[in-house]
Every structure is written in structure tokens, then in C-alpha cells.
Amino acid sequence: MAMEMVSMGRVITFLTDFGSFYLSQMKGVILQRTKDVVFVEISTDIPPQDVRSGAFALMVASRYFPRGTIHIAVVDPGVGTERAAICVESGGHVFIGPDNGILMPAARTLGSPVAWKLDVPEGASPTFHGRDVFARAAAEIACGTHPEDMGIPFEPKDLDLGSPRVVANGVETTVIHIDNFGNVVLNMR
């Protein structure tokens, strides 16, 4: 039996450490600007401020979405500081979030990332760029604005998940993520 393809709007994913109603505000901002979107939550319960865990979750999930998907990732211990807001295009996907490395492992696995620094609109909350910067940028892209028209070219911070190293009594690794079942993901195969 052949599978029938269903036409749908632009896919926008969310990955956050919010764990609460803040995500609905981001969706509202997007829906004020476009109605033809499909929202998917990759996760809203990344451990607070755990950029490494968020980067891992985004990396393993993003590859299963269709080309053209817009991914918003907000695990942002640097919110309110001078850290940049960025947009990265790679492999037909767009990644939007803070310049703290969270976007780069996923972007690298899909292709050759190209990044732009986003302007922070006047009046944007210094502590909720998810709503006032990232959601607005995602809506603009969903409406047809090309990422290169969103800001100036930028060299983003990268997040290296590291490599294991052999030590005298075994192997030293780093914990990247612990899921709700107690599974521990290490930076080794």
C-alpha cells in the first residue's frame, strides 16, 4: 500500500529549557505573522542552562525533519549579555538561537553551515530573546525572507562535544545528556 503525502505548512521546531508557558508566547508571535506553519516541540525540558544537552538533542532530532524546516533552540545562560543572536543555514535547514554553540553540532551534521548575526529589535526584552528575537526571525523566514537578508555574515561560536581520551586506568569521557530513563549519553561511540 502506497503512503499518501500530505501537504502542510512550513515546519518550525522548538528546543528549550523553559518547561512552562513561555513557549506559547513564542508560538503566538509566529502566528501573528503567519498561519501556514506546523509546530513541533523537540523538547521543552532540557536541563536548565545545559547548552551541551540541548545541542545534543537538536543534533539527533534535526536530521529527521524535512528540508526547509526552521529550528529554534533556546537554552541560553547568556541571555541579557552581549552574546549575539544568530541564524544558521545548513543542509536546507535553518537554525535560530543564541550564539553559544547550541546550533552548530546539528548544523554541521547536515552540511556546511553559514551564519548571520541577527539584529535585536528595539524594545526586545533583554531576558526573552526567544519571543522577541528568535520567534520573529523564524516567522520572517517562514514567510519567505531568506536567512542572508536577516543580518550580517557572522562566525558563530562552536560547541565541541569533545572526544574520549585514554588514561592510565581506562577511558575518560564527558557526559553529554542524561534522559528521563537514566540513559547516559557520552561523547564516545
Integer Rg of the chain from CA: 17
Q: What pLDDT, on a 0 to 100 scale, did the predictor assign at position 36?
A: 87
pTM of the model: 0.89
CA distance 78 to 57: 19
Is 115 within 8 Å of 94 (Cβ atoms)?
no
Q: In which element (H, E) is residue 151 found? A: strand 151-154
Least confident range of 11-25, 123-137, 164-178: 164-178
Residue with cell 520573529: 136
Sequence-separated (6 or more) residues with CB below 8 Å from residue 137: 85, 87, 96, 118, 150
Is 99 within 8 Å of 156 (Cβ atoms)?
yes
The SS3 of residue 41 is strand
Per-residue pLDDT tens over the stretch 83-138: 999 999 999 999 999 999 999 999 999 999 999 999 999 999 999 999 999 999 99
User: Which residue ranges form the domains of the chain, and what is each CATH number?
Assistant: 10-157 (3.40.50.10790)
Q: What are the start-end ranges of the E strands in 63-141?
A: 70-74, 85-90, 93-98, 114-118
Closest to 150 in 3D by CA, of 84, 86, 70: 86
Q: What pLDDT, on a 0 to 100 scale, did the predictor assign at position 6?
A: 47
Pairing relationship of beta strands 70-74 and 184-186 according to DSSP bridges: unpaired
Least confident range of 4-8, 50-54, 91-95, 168-172: 4-8
Answer with the residue of higher pLDDT: 100 or 9: 100
Q: How confident is the model at residue 2 (pLDDT cuts 50, 70, 90)?
A: low
Closest to 161 in 3D by CA, of 90, 108, 110, 82: 108
